[in-house]
Structure 1
Amino acid sequence: MSIALTPSTSLLLGLSGALCVVLFTWGFHLMTRTSEVTSDFITAAPKKKKSDETFILHRITELIGRPFATTLLEWLGEEQQAKIQARIDAAGRPEGLTVRRYAQRKAGEVLLYGTLAVFLFLQGSTTLALVVLAFGTLTDLSLYSEKRKRQEEIQKQLPDFLDVLAVTVSAGLSFRQALARVADAMPGVLASEFQLALRQMELGTSRRDAFAALRERNSNEALGRFITALQQAEELGAPLSQTLHALSTDMRREDAQFLRRKAQHLNPRVTAVTAATMLPGLLLIIGGGMLLGSEVDLSAIFG
């Protein structure tokens, strides 16, 4: 005798099976690495409470993948970890994300969504399995989205920042003092990047290396040109205030062009959304009016 399973029952069984697999692997990991677990409880500093803004799915995957983070980091190697750190820095380290937490999330995503996708695929739900499997890229998609938002904020803040910096330099302050003063007076994404560069210089990093690292963390072309022009002005001895004023004027012009391009990209989306929302209602109104006006007898159709 065969028992028919409803889709909700199949999903519940899949979740239960995935949870059993995760708990079994976690317990096996703890049993085989008891010395590491004991040292963590004794020597580890109390962990800081995570921000409530962390997405609930990220919390779940971090919890599932925590026992496997060390193994995954060893497998990645230092070079790949450096690339991951660069991506996290480019996104502004959202939610205090670190390389270890990134490894925890990815391990948890592979275990959770991969197990669910395999179970759904075996049940014959191929489309649903692909949708669940796509959740495995959730961390990378969030980093990409945060990086784009951050670069747009830098594009908006850079002209005003350069204007104030030029005025501050013209007042007689040195470049480093003026940069620190403006960064404190105009908080934001751009100010936090310059504050990080200033802290690196205070720790002994040269100005050229600190600004080179700033350019590597951000893919904004306007910011890259500002750093290049700043280094050239320093090498050639050109007046810094005039250079900053000229850069600010050029960037305001480019910012206006950037906003025009962005508006042009939004026009098709607005048109599609408007058509998708208004067209069904218009068809119902026009078709219903024509049907009522024609006085057609529908009793034969609807009984």
Structure 2
Amino acid sequence: MPRRPPECSSSWDSSRCGKWPVSMSRLLAIALGVVFAVGLVGPAIALADDGVKLNLTQVDPSDFPNVRIVASAVDAQGKPVKGLQATDLVVSESRRAQRIGVNLANTVAPVALALVLDTSGSMAGKPFADAKAAMNSLAQSLGPNDQAAIVTFNTAVSVPQQLTADKAALAAAIDRAVAGGDTAIFDAVSAAADLIAPVSARTRRAIVLLTDGIDNSSRATLAATTAKVTALGAAVYVIGLGSDLDRPVLQALADGSTGGAAYVAPTSAQLAGIYAGLSEQLATEYVVSYRSDIALVAAGTTLEVTLQLVRAGAVIATTTTTFVVPAGHDVTAPAVPTIEPAPNRELPALPVIGPTRVDAAIVGLLGAASALCLLLWALVFSATQSLAERERRRMKDLAGSLEPLGQLPTRPFRDRVIIPFLQRLARPLQRFMPSSEGTRLRLAQAGDPLDLGPAEFMGLRVATGFIFAIVCVLVAALFKIDLLLVLLATLFGLFLGYALPGIVLARSIKGRQREIQRALPAALDMLALAASAGLTFDGAVAQVIDRWHTPLSDELRRLLVEFRMGSDRRTALRGLARRTGLADVARFVNAIVQADSLGVPISKVLTEQAVEMRTRRRQRAEEAARKAPVKMLFPMVGLIFPALFVVILGPAVPRFLTLFANAH
């Protein structure tokens, strides 16, 4: 989504807000200062803003002293932290460190999920259709060992589907829901808790509630409902739709559960992103298990458990919960003694070395080059991520804030410092530059390598221009060049730095188009095969996405996401053609659009396109083979033949020179 322009800083004069100073010396000073600030302060700020959060969704002491904890870790953007190992987590029980094992939850602990849908009259129309579609997508994303139940409520509570792993039955139950009546939220949550209560304690229990109103028909109270959920140990995820919500009550429902959260979707179009985020969270939870080393404890005792996330020896996230030792599981015999961690040994102080005499120009050159590397590293490191992650962020943007109510999201360093700085640099040039749509299209064709908008990309070109100019000035000063050459070096650095991002972007576009062109015939064959097997076009596209990881599959993944978000199919397909910039993709898109308009079977069209693409690929190969001798001629004449002439005729040259000298 497009970013808003940054507001004027309070350090600027209000009469000059939004304008860049015209003094060249001030420009150079500001550019150099910001570059060094990024290089020196950036890593510390990035570490402070890491924003990782641990959520405990279940504690199972039923087999005490063996304890199982279900937890998840999310970063500041709400994305799951994947790949955690036992060395990344520390568990302490009553302040005693425990030896733990860590497993991905979906491999050892299936899910029992109660999907609760508000079917009151206020939900009728498009919000109800969007809600059912988003709920069905979550149900279909469950694993083979997971179960779900469907609960609908208005004035009364109905259970159209008990717990089952049959996804077709879940989809049918959701589809049968009809809107009408009042709202009984507490009764619905209580009924959902009763549905998932009988499952095994080793199963993860969760309730996902969607409502757009205020409870006005329940027999149960908020206190009784939260008490039942707390005793059950289930997580309650509350999704409020629209603005007519009782937010404190919804937040209390979420807070009354273990690891629950409340979300708000101002419009129904944002529900798909929220449910997709919940699906990903359930799929990336961890089961942390340990055997308590407590020496003596009676049944009914409350023990405190602390879970910490550790990186590079530093604790970056902590959460604490309690559990009660169940009856019949008291410990009367000493357990294995706790192994205390070895104390940290102090390292000897390093000797202080006095400063050496180094030429100031060399120091400045090395400092500017280091700052340039750090700036480019910060930009690339903050933006190098797969297209799938960028699509999940786009869905999150469409879904609004996915953070729990009452919390403000933490903006990363890149969005707080680097992006506003690039926007300020680009602002004076925007009125003289062509429309930003062309730049946006070129960035999309390159695959958004740095995830920048047109204004930020223009600011990047300006920033690199100033940095190269500074480096050229320092080099000129190092070699004591006269003033005219210093000015020429400055202009050369400005031009080179400004042009370099455009050159890199053009090469990225060409390289990405070559990869898409190379992957297109195989993808069309797969699409035709899947369509011939009876799959829809969306299903065939999903098969290509699952089997290959290429720029083409990334674009098809974005196309499929746009389909599922309700975008017009023709518009989404034509957007695919524009983002690739390839004539073959445009022909394929036109064929699909025409087949959709005329009602032609999609399998027949895809088969014909695959045959045509293979023919075109063979023709291109033959054309390249015919051009190869011509392309090889100039390197041979200019590089290879002179070397051959020197090797063959070189020994005879001294004799010829001697003969000519004797002749004269």
Same fold (TM over 0.5): yes
Distance 2:660 2:50 in 1: 74
Matched, 1:271 2:633: yes
Deviations 1:27-54 (A, max 9, x none): 8889xxxxxxxxxx79x95499xxxxxx
Alignment of structure 1 residues 123-134 onto 2, 5 Å = 123-124=484-485, 132=493, 133-134=495-496
Report how far residue 117 of structure 1 moved.
Answer: 6.5
Matched, 1:59 2:379: no
The equivalent of 1:192 in structure 2 is 554
Matched, 1:90 2:445: yes
The equivalent of 1:282 in structure 2 is 644
Instruction: Please identify which structure carries the higher strand content.
Output: 2
Distance 2:419 2:499 in 1: 18
SS where residue 658 of structure 2 aligns? coil
Matched, 1:24 2:29: yes
Report how far residue 126 of structure 1 moved.
Answer: 8.9
SS where residue 204 of structure 1 aligns? coil
Report how far residue 81 of structure 1 moved.
Answer: 4.1
Unaligned segments of structure 1, at least 5 residues: 1-19, 31-40, 49-54
2:513, 2:580 within 8 Å by CA — same for their partners in 1?
yes
2:445, 2:579 within 8 Å by CA — same for their partners in 1?
yes
User: Relative to structure 1, is the Cα distance of residues 121 and 205 closer, same or farther in structure 2, using a 3 angstrom cutoff?
Assistant: farther
Distance 1:195 1:159 in 2: 17
Name which one, 1 or 2, has greater alpha-carbon Rg: 2
SS where residue 214 of structure 1 aligns? helix
Distance 2:28 2:497 in 1: 21
Report how far residue 164 of structure 1 moved.
Answer: 1.2
1:113, 1:135 within 8 Å by CA — same for their partners in 2?
yes
Distance 2:504 2:632 in 1: 24
The equivalent of 1:102 in structure 2 is 457
Matched, 1:176 2:538: yes
Q: Which moved more, 1:112-121 or 1:203-212?
A: 112-121
SS where residue 534 of structure 2 aligns? coil
2:426, 2:462 within 8 Å by CA — same for their partners in 1?
no
Letter of the 2:462 counterpart: A
Distance 1:45 1:272 in 2: 56
Distance 1:126 1:104 in 2: 23
Report how far residue 122 of structure 1 moved.
Answer: 4.3
User: Relative to structure 1, is the Cα distance of residues 185 and 128 closer, same or farther in structure 2, using a 3 angstrom cutoff?
Assistant: same
Distance 1:80 1:234 in 2: 33
Alignment of structure 1 residues 248-263 onto 2, 5 Å = 248-263=610-625
Letter of the 1:239 counterpart: P
Deviations 1:126-167 (A, max 9, x none): 986776433421111111111112222222221221111111
The equivalent of 1:139 in structure 2 is 501
SS where residue 123 of structure 1 aligns? helix
- Per the normalisation by structure 1, the TM-score is 0.70
Letter of the 2:457 counterpart: Y
The equivalent of 1:163 in structure 2 is 525
Letter of the 2:501 counterpart: T
Report how far residue 288 of structure 1 moved.
Answer: 2.4
The equivalent of 1:217 in structure 2 is 579
Give the length in aligned residue pairs.
Answer: 263
Distance 1:68 1:227 in 2: 39
Letter of the 1:165 counterpart: L
Distance 1:129 1:107 in 2: 14
Matched, 1:70 2:427: no
Distance 2:375 2:635 in 1: 30
Letter of the 1:123 counterpart: L
User: Relative to structure 1, is the Cα distance of residues 209 and 71 closer, same or farther in structure 2, using a 3 angstrom cutoff?
Assistant: same
User: Relative to structure 1, is the Cα distance of residues 56 and 190 closer, same or farther in structure 2, using a 3 angstrom cutoff?
Assistant: same
Distance 1:189 1:291 in 2: 57
Report how far residue 60 of structure 1 moved.
Answer: 7.8
Matched, 1:113 2:474: no
Deviations 1:60-94 (A, max 9, x none): 8969x8774121354538x9444322211101122
Matched, 1:231 2:548: no
User: Relative to structure 1, is the Cα distance of residues 61 and 80 closer, same or farther in structure 2, using a 3 angstrom cutoff?
Assistant: farther
User: Relative to structure 1, is the Cα distance of residues 116 and 281 closer, same or farther in structure 2, using a 3 angstrom cutoff?
Assistant: same
**Aligned residues with identical type, % of pairs:** 24
Report how far residue 264 of structure 1 moved.
Answer: 4.6
User: Relative to structure 1, is the Cα distance of residues 292 and 70 closer, same or farther in structure 2, using a 3 angstrom cutoff?
Assistant: closer
Distance 1:223 1:29 in 2: 43
Letter of the 1:105 counterpart: L
Letter of the 2:648 counterpart: I
Distance 2:49 2:632 in 1: 51
2:469, 2:489 within 8 Å by CA — same for their partners in 1?
no
User: Relative to structure 1, is the Cα distance of residues 57 and 26 closer, same or farther in structure 2, using a 3 angstrom cutoff?
Assistant: closer
Distance 1:116 1:168 in 2: 56
Report how far residue 224 of structure 1 moved.
Answer: 0.4
Distance 1:121 1:57 in 2: 31
SS where residue 608 of structure 2 aligns? helix
Unaligned segments of structure 2, at least 5 residues: 1-24, 36-44, 52-74, 76-371, 380-413
Distance 2:487 2:29 in 1: 26
Letter of the 1:214 counterpart: L
2:425, 2:463 within 8 Å by CA — same for their partners in 1?
no
Distance 1:276 1:27 in 2: 44
The equivalent of 1:148 in structure 2 is 510
Letter of the 1:69 counterpart: L
2:595, 2:601 within 8 Å by CA — same for their partners in 1?
yes
